[in-house]
Amino acid sequence: MTMATALEPQFQKWHSRTSSSAGVLAALMGDSRRLFAHQFFVMADSYFHSGFYPSIFDSKKPGEELDLKEESHQKQEGTKQHEEETSFLGAPKDLFDRFGRNFYPTTHTHLHGGNEREMLPWLKLSAELDPHEIDPYLAASYWLRTSLNNPGEAERFLREGLDANPDSFEILLELGRINFYNRKNSRVARNIFELALKKWHHREAAGGKPDPIVCAEILGEIVRTDREQGNLKQQLADMEELLKVAPGKGSLQSQIDELKAKLAESQTNH
Amino acid sequence: MSSVTSRNPDANNVFAIAGVVIKEMYRRKDFYVLFALIVVITLILGSVSFFNDDRIVRYVKDGCLLLIWLCSLVIAITTAARQIPAERESRTIYPLLAKPVGRGEFVAGKFLGCWLACGVSLLAFYFFFGLIAASREHTLPFLAYFQAIWLHWMCLSIVVALVILGSVVFTAPSSNATISFIVVLGIMFAGGHLNGIAIQMRGFSGGLVYGIYYALPHLEWYDVRELIIHNWGSIDWLAWGGASIYAILYSGMLLACAWMVFRRRTFVL
């Protein structure tokens, strides 16, 4: 009885340490798994470009995002900027360099037509090694729900990510998109988007400096659900919220004005 | 009769020595163990399911090709590194050189045997790779695979020649094999980027690094795994031919150096 009383707190401490989602890999590799997690995410980006990828010897501009991350965040960049980022090879430096370019990929392409599945193993491994890094969850989910038409697997993977990162508004945004675009369930989607927005504000209030573009994306999706549900008053309120954070306000303001006119007209008719 | 046998005595000696090397390879366990390793690891990789999608194949190809390259380098380097020292230790080199077998024929025979043995290994490895890739992709880009196998074999000709040169320079086969591994892997990893490093350096040191860049064998040309994994199609035949000629010339140069060192070596009973 005395032994049980003495050992019980130790057992509880040990049990909670081993029941983390990282499992065997975390126990074996410790914190070095985060390095490998990032490297596997880079491998996924390399696969996205079918092997056309800078090595550690090729210079990369600081602050440059991985293409895979930008695609899954649905950020659109100009063609010129994209070409500049991908010209890491430059002109051949000498005859041997020119000749050697026959033996490795030298054209910038992105996987398409269902071949995006080839990135999935690396994204899965990256998430396994560092469950607190959310980019692998977002990238895998984006491709699973869009090109690969597999929203079920996307949702399952995102929920794993949510278990490891319960305060992640990015994962909630992606989860909401599955419900809105794939399952056509705007009501559930809106609830998830609302939760994501709440998490975003919570992080901002705590001094976390969350990305305002993500807030704009969440509000944009909320506006789409309102449009889908035909809730014009709520849509107007949400669009006015969106106007405060949206980067491009011109077209949004005109849409708000149109909606106000429409609402005024419908009230007049009533 | 004597005119028939004396017509190509040098070639006969070379092929005879090469034949012994090849027979030694399939009597030893190295090849079978490495082949089994490739098969087991590749099948394990292929058995893992990601998101219930059984059409994912590139990571399996990637893993299999990496194993093939590593195992082929092990076979090439260990086989070549032990040839001349083993003959010396077992004292069979004395009757061999006492016969009308010149030192050049001896070196050429050892090189040819090791290189052909590597070729046989590659055929087996790539056959398995082709089976795995075709079973998932339901297609077999024969031309691209043929070019890849040929270039891989050409690369091993340079490696074998380098190791044979090492075996007449270094005394112990273990040190020769270790140094050869480090040099070969270093060249494959960084050799193609030395020009970029040299450009960033100034003066004499930049020129020296650029000189090393040109002098080193460009083994990275022969590693076309990215083209195979990501289905980029076949390589330009002129480039393929150019790389083959480069390998033949470079191997020839290394073997000539090995012969020049070897013919000055005296063997004492």
pLDDT value for A60:
57
Single out the residue of A111, A167, A163 nearest to residue A139, CA to CA: A111
User: Half-sphere exposure (CA, 13 Å, Cβ side) for B49?
Assistant: 5
Is the CA virtual torsion A253, A255, A257, A263 positive or negative?
negative
pLDDT at A10 over 90: no
Query: Which structural domain range is residue B133 located in?
Result: 2-263
pLDDT in tens, B127-139: 999 999 999 999 9
E strands of chain A, at which residues?
none
Whether residue B220 is contained in a domain is answered as yes
Contact (CB, 8 A) for B25 and B120: yes
Query: Lowest-confidence range among A77-86, A96-105, B259-268?
Result: A77-86
Does A266 have pLDDT greater than 60? yes
* Candidates B53, B193, B236; nearest CB to A57: B193
Number of helices and strands (H, E) in chain A?
A: 14, 0
Amino acid residing at A23:
G
Look up tokens 């490739």; give the residue. B38
- Taking phi over 0 as left and psi of -120 to 50 as alpha, with beta for the rest, A268 belongs to alpha
Q: Is residue B268 part of a domain?
A: no
The pLDDT tens digits for B194-227 are 999 999 998 999 999 999 999 999 999 999 999 9
CA distance A104 to A115: 20
Contact map slice: B 13-52 vs A, CB within 8 A: 48, 50-52
Are B56 and A117 within 8 A, CB to CB?
Answer: yes
Q: Which residues of A touch B (CB under 8 A)?
A: 47, 50-51, 55, 57-58, 93-94, 96-97, 99-100, 102-105, 117-118, 120-122, 124, 140, 144, 148, 150, 153, 157
CA–CA separation, A50 vs B22, rounded Å? Answer: 38
pLDDT at A148 over 90: yes
Pairs of residues, one from chain A and one from chain B, whose beta carbons lie less than 8 Å apart: 84
Residue A179 is classified by DSSP as I
pLDDT of residue B4 exceeding 50, the answer is no
**The one-letter amino acid at A234:** Q
Greater pLDDT, B98 or A210: A210
The Cα of A250 is separated from the nearest Cα of chain B by a number of Å equal to 42
What is the per-residue pLDDT for B175? 94
Q: Which of A52-66, A248-262, B99-113, B130-144 has the highest mean pLDDT?
A: B130-144
Reply yes or no on whether the pLDDT at B113 is more than 90: yes
One-letter amino acid for residue A167 of the chain: D
Cα separation, A256 vs A236, whole angstroms: 7
Res A20: pLDDT: 46
Q: What is the pLDDT of residues B227-247, one digit of tens each?
A: 999 999 999 999 999 999 999
Mean pLDDT score of chain A, rounded to an integer? 85
β-strand partners of B21: none
Q: Nearest CA to B133 among B70, B55, B73?
A: B55
For A184, left (φ over 0), alpha (ψ -120 to 50), or beta? Answer: left
String of b and e for B157-176 (b: at least 16 CB within 10 Å)?
A: bbbbbbbbbbbbebeebeeb
Main-chain dihedrals φ then ψ at residue B50, nearest 5 degrees:
-115, 115
What is the percentage of chain A residues whose pLDDT exceeds 70? 80
Buried b (16+ CB within 10 A) or exposed e, A25-34: ebeeeeeebe
Give the mean pLDDT of A192-219: 94
pLDDT of residue B269: 59
- Does residue B87 lie within any of the structural domains? yes
Q: Which residue from A51, A57, A121 is facing B196, i.e. has the nearest CB?
A: A57
Residue A7 pLDDT class (50, 70, 90 cuts): low
Whether residue B115 is contained in a domain is answered as yes
Look at residue B86 in the predicted model and tell me its pLDDT: 84
Q: Is residue B269 part of a domain?
A: no
Q: What is the mean pLDDT of residues B108-119?
A: 95
Cβ atoms of A197 and A170 closer than 8 Å: no
Predicted confidence at residue A77, as pLDDT, reads 47
Assembly ipTM = 0.90
Does B31 fall in a domain? yes
Q: Which residues of A touch B151 (CB under 8 A)?
A: 103
CA distances from A133 to A34, A48, A196, A263 (A): 9, 19, 17, 44
Based on the structure, what is the number of domains in chain B? 1
Please state, in angstroms and rounded to a whole number, the distance separating the CA atoms of residues B102 and A87: 54
Cβ count near B198 (within 10 Å): 20
- Please tell me the predicted confidence (pLDDT) of residue A74: 53
Query: What number is the average pLDDT over the span B42-56?
Result: 94
Q: Is residue B142 part of a domain?
A: yes
Nearest CB to A103; choose among B52, B195, B221: B221
The predicted model gives B56-72 an average pLDDT of: 97
Residue B198 lies in a domain: yes
Q: pLDDT > 90: what percent of chain A?
A: 58
- The pLDDT value recorded for residue A63 is 53
